[in-house]
């Protein structure tokens, strides 16, 4: 199974045989977006168009197979950036037709959950999944990977990674902001400033209990920095970075573990590029242990956007008897799970 992922700025091609990972190759246009401080959809789409062919070739070489060995093609049809998705969907259709093989359109978020299968460890459901990246912040309840994935909540404004990127810009740090904030936070005091935990009070409201909001936090940090600039008071970038990171981590872990408790699910799967944040992993592991919840964190190469997770999900669909997609599907930027 060859999987194609182009929902954001990573051109990901993965090849799997059943649940075995053969290759996972990625070309990123992140450098091209750096000067804009965030992903520019048009730039991402054009970069996918150029990167797809060489990335497919690299993935085939890494897996030590040729196109003639490919039995089926899988592609992310949404959610994501419309133009970026369209490039992958077009390429996947062309490949499937030319090889005369079945094509599977899959959901990007469910793909993130499927990544866990490729770790080779026994995967158990139900599990709660927390997906945090530059494009999404979603909390899902997975009773069955191919037939029962429920979106519990998502961000109402910025994604968690996007919040890191925006705060980095406010602090004069380069893009992508996550690693930069992490570095700055290393010497800071996470309790120096009590920044707001977005939507934490919403935990009492059933309809928004698992939703997130990071725009209030962003405004609070911006105001804090502006006030210091206006008064000339020295600003400790490490303290701001550490306090901001703590606010994000706190709200993510609190809501994820609350979902585990309320649904009686003793498992939590983490995914998305923000998982690179060690503080997030540490706090999740520590609090989950206290709550009797087992945490799964696939290696980072499977957590960030990649084609292998898309191929893995399509393999599961085949194994559970799902029919292939017809060629009549398009890219759906808001595709629900």
Cα 295 from Cα 293, distance rounded (Å): 6
Cα 116 from Cα 21, distance rounded (Å): 11
Residue keyed to tokens 């393999």? 315
Q: Is there binding between residue 23 and ligand KG4 (CB under 6 A)? A: no
Query: Could you say which of 277, 302, 313, 317 contacts ligand KG4 (CB under 6 A)?
Result: 277
DSSP character at residue 273: G
Cα 307 from Cα 76, distance rounded (Å): 9
Among 48-56, 138-146, 156-164, 290-298, the segment contacting ligand KG4 (CB under 6 A): 156-164
* Residue 172 zone, left/alpha/beta (φ > 0; ψ -120 to 50; rest): left
Cα 38 from Cα 54, distance rounded (Å): 25
Q: Is there binding between residue 178 and ligand KG4 (CB under 6 A)? A: yes
Instruction: Give the residue numbers of the binding site for substrate.
Output: 131-135, 165, 178, 182, 277
Two tokens at 214? 């990071």
Q: How far is the CB of 205 from ligand KG4 (least distance, A)?
A: 28
Q: Closest CB to Zn ion belongs to which residue? A: 305
Query: Could you say which of 3, 161, 188, 298 contacts ligand KG4 (CB under 6 A)?
Result: 161
Cα first-last separation, the chain: 21
Query: Could you say which of 305, 307, 309, 314 contacts Zn ion (CB under 5 A)?
Result: 305
Cα 41 from Cα 83, distance rounded (Å): 7
Among Zn ion, ligand KG4, none, residue 276 binds (CB under 5-8 Å by kind)? ligand KG4
Query: Could you say which of 111, 176, 188, 198 contacts ligand KG4 (CB under 6 A)?
Result: 176
Q: Is there binding between residue 5 and ligand KG4 (CB under 6 A)? A: no
Which has the closest alpha carbon to 91: 39, 41, 55?
55
Instruction: Give the residue numbers of the binding site.
Output: 108, 112, 131-135, 165, 178, 182, 277, 305
How many Cβ atoms sit within 10 Å of the Cβ of residue 208?
A: 15
Q: Is there binding between residue 221 and ligand KG4 (CB under 6 A)? A: no
Rg (CA), the chain: 20
Among Zn ion, ligand KG4, none, residue 106 binds (CB under 5-8 Å by kind)? none
Q: Is there binding between residue 298 and ligand KG4 (CB under 6 A)? A: no
Q: Is there binding between residue 8 and ligand KG4 (CB under 6 A)? A: yes
Interacting residues with Zn ion (CB under 5 A): 133, 305
Q: Which residues bind ligand KG4 (CB under 6 A)?
A: 8-9, 133-135, 161-162, 164-165, 176-179, 182, 272-274, 276-277, 304-305
């Amino acid at each position: 199974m060859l999987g194609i992922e182009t929902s954001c700025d990573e051109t990901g091609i993965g090849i799997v045989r059943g649940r075995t990972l053969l290759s996972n190759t990625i070309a990123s246009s992140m450098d091209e977006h750096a000067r804009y401080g965030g992903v520019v959809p048009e730039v991402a789409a054009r970069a996918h168009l150029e990167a797809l062919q060489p990335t497919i070739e690299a993935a085939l070489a890494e897996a030590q197979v040729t196109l003639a060995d490919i039995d089926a093609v899988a592609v992310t049809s949404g959610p994501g950036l419309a133009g970026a998705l369209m490039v992958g969907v077009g390429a996947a259709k062309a490949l499937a037709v030319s090889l005369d093989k079945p094509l599977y359109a899959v959901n990007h978020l469910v793909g993130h959950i499927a990544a866990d299968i490729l770790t080779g460890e026994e995967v158990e459901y139900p599990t709660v999944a927390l997906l945090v990246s530059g494009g999404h912040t979603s909390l899902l309840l997975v009773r069955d990977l191919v037939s029962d994935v429920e979106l519990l909540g998502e961000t109402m404004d910025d994604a968690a990674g996007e919040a890191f990127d925006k705060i980095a810009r406010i602090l004069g740090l380069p893009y992508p902001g996550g690693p930069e904030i992490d570095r700055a936070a290393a010497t800071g005091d996470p309790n120096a400033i009590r920044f707001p935990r977005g939507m934490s009070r919403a935990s009492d409201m059933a309809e928004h209990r698992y939703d997130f909001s990071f725009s209030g936090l962003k405004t609070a940090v911006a105001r804090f920095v502006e006030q210091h600039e206006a008064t000339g008071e020295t600003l400790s970038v490490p303290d701001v970075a550490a306090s901001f990171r703590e606010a994000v981590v706190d709200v993510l872990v609190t809501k994820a573990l609350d979902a585990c408790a309320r649904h009686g699910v003793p498992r939590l799967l983490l995914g998305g590029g923000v998982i690179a944040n060690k503080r997030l992993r540490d706090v999740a592991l520590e609090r989950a242990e206290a709550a009797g919840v087992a945490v799964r964190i696939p290696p980072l190469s499977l957590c960030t956007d990649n084609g292998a997770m898309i191929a893995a999900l399509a393999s599961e669909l085949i194994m559970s008897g799902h029919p292939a997609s017809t060629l009549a599907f398009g890219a759906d930027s808001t595709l629900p799970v």
